[in-house]
Structure 1
């Protein structure tokens, strides 16, 4: 039985463009399906987290990450008696607005867009699902429900100063940006953190950016290795590592479930509106684990994100994004036909810059590298 504060699809605030209901799927199920079938979701296959797309088949991409986040989110939502379909929809859509080359690409594009209101991947995700996906006969975008749009926009918390793109949409479809999102969206946000911590451990080890001996000194992780060694002495190293890290994953999930259930009970919330009215998040880690995770994240920052190989990759990625932005803004004639028409129609200034930004943000790592090479290398055919 759903919790009283779970989002009820039958009580959804609806869509910007009214549609007849489906005979077989709830509104949130339709949202999830539209996200999965979108062009932006497919492109996540070739957008990366930390490593450039061509560096190895085993490293996470935005697509595999989004699938992992959705799996964690469904588990947590089910246990807390929330709406799994809404939770999954927000989880699957949360990274749609990311640029090529992960946060490095976002930082570079935000820097180039600073004179025109900046760039934010959550705002870009809303723009994608409300405008840039153009496949339906009756409207631009995916025409998602209010609840899913709200979750995409503010799953990380209230948005006090919305970026231009988000403020522009919010003016015609109020997402109540100053409040917290539903419990389902909060679950998606915490699931993102859990998945990030888990695959940074796995990918960093696989890439040789740090050693097992180093992470065994970290809180939580060392205890999980000790449990595996005690239960299966002499286990094959690969299996041993996997067994330990899956226990780290389990510790995070169990902690969120235990802490969030207690917070929800203490909150007295009896409806989704009660959750939004609270001045704190109801889905979160316990304080002790949060302190442990800060130590782990600092280790990642010092030993993974600052590693010389990653720094070189990030430098090259930043150059690619900045070069493409500068070139396309100066000469819109180098854009593909539909984007050139859009840029010229937008006119000088912010409109043109935002068209160029949208084009680059939608690129995969591979396509951005190809475009840069075609433009910058005289031996390449354009």
Structure 2
């Protein structure tokens, strides 16, 4: 009883400090209720994500440049990106009095479902899914699949609705001047969005919390300047090629760009139930994103290996699909994936999923290096 009073005092103190627009600890809901003597629901979700295997694999997954750590360990990877999203979102959330535990949990979990080799890997898996006529692969859908279905030997993490919603709704690649949460969202809305998106239909989604909106904006803030600096570092861009308006109003370095965008969001969002840029800054952000698309993401030097990468993905997919069909338990898909999916060597996982989906799950879990080494092992 003393522990319950102690916990209530802690959480009430936190909730009373927060903005009226913040997500309160007392509003959190999850499928299977659990208790802890003094920790709040979102802090437990954050730590569950932080100590997961999927989080540890962030460090080996590419952000933009393939095998970046093999030739320059200062270039960004998925781990650095995720931690930067978290810190940027915390800075904004602290200034406007939002729930920092919820922000951190969403930020740390938002990219768990990314495939190896960044968005190129994601696009290749989508092509394979189309060919096999199964639900399309998108990293935000797969992030939710990991925390709901695949983590903890297929028991799932049992995260709160608010964290799960933020992970699913995090897309930072959309150009948005402002975000206002859709507080009426239900579990049915998440399911409907996932169904439409996986079937290739047009689907849009807004976060259910202001904290989710902050993470979504912070996702873009974290990569627009960092990708620019990485491109300059490897020599595919020069700093003086950046348009003058962007340099003047946002800055020329990642640090300056982050500072400009975070400051603008805080000033314009304070005491509002929305996260909003000033019109001028929003315009510059959209211009910088487009500049990055044209000069970095579509750069022929970076895309030179994509054709080979497609062949490598298809080779491994076909190899593991055949191993599943033949029940080849010597295959890595059994030894290093299926047998770790729960009791009876992952029998429930195998019986409740299409074989193609199991292969997609396995390949998506790989780091860049693991993928490469696996390909070499079988291609010898």
TM-score by length of 1: 0.79
Matches within 5 A, 1:22-171: 22-53=36-67, 54-114=70-130, 115-134=133-152, 140-156=155-171, 162-164=193-195
Seen in structure 2, the aligned counterparts of structure 1 residues 202 and 308 have a Cα distance that, compared at 3 Å, is same
Number of residue pairs aligned between Structure 1 and Structure 2 = 328
Matches within 5 A, 1:1-382: 1-13=17-29, 15-20=30-35, 22-53=36-67, 54-114=70-130, 115-134=133-152, 140-156=155-171, 162-164=193-195, 180-215=207-242, 217-222=243-248, 244-261=253-270, 263-264=272-273, 282-332=274-324, 333=328, 334=331, 335-337=333-335, 338-339=337-338, 346=350, 351-376=354-379, 378=380
Structure 1 regions of 5+ residues with no counterpart? Answer: 168-176, 226-240, 265-281
Residues 77 and 83 of structure 1 are in contact (CA less than 8 Å); yes or no, is this contact kept in structure 2?
A: yes
How far apart are 1:166 and its partner, in Å?
8.9
Runs of 4+ in 1 over 6 A off after TM superposition: 157-160
How far apart are 1:352 and its partner, in Å?
0.8
Seen in structure 2, the aligned counterparts of structure 1 residues 165 and 345 have a Cα distance that, compared at 3 Å, is farther
TM-score by length of 2: 0.79
Q: Which residue is equivalent to 2:5?
A: none
How far apart are 1:257 and its partner, in Å?
1.5
Residues 140 and 170 of structure 2 are in contact (CA less than 8 Å); yes or no, is this contact kept in structure 1?
A: no
Give the Cα separation in 1 of the matches to 2:80 and 2:118: 14
Q: What is the SS of the residue equivalent to 1:329?
A: helix
Give the Cα separation in 2 of the matches to 1:190 and 1:164: 24
Give the Cα separation in 2 of the matches to 1:353 and 1:343: 16
Q: What is the SS of the residue equivalent to 2:276?
A: coil
Give the Cα separation in 2 of the matches to 1:92 and 1:345: 26
Query: Deviation string for 1:268-306 (max 9, x for gaps)?
Result: xxxxxxxxxxxxxx2233332222122212221221122
Seen in structure 2, the aligned counterparts of structure 1 residues 181 and 55 have a Cα distance that, compared at 3 Å, is farther
Residues 224 and 292 of structure 2 are in contact (CA less than 8 Å); yes or no, is this contact kept in structure 1?
A: no
Seen in structure 2, the aligned counterparts of structure 1 residues 5 and 262 have a Cα distance that, compared at 3 Å, is closer
Structure 2 regions of 5+ residues with no counterpart? Answer: 1-16, 172-180, 182-188, 199-203, 340-344
Higher relative contact order (CA 8 A, sep 6+): 1
How far apart are 1:7 and its partner, in Å?
0.7
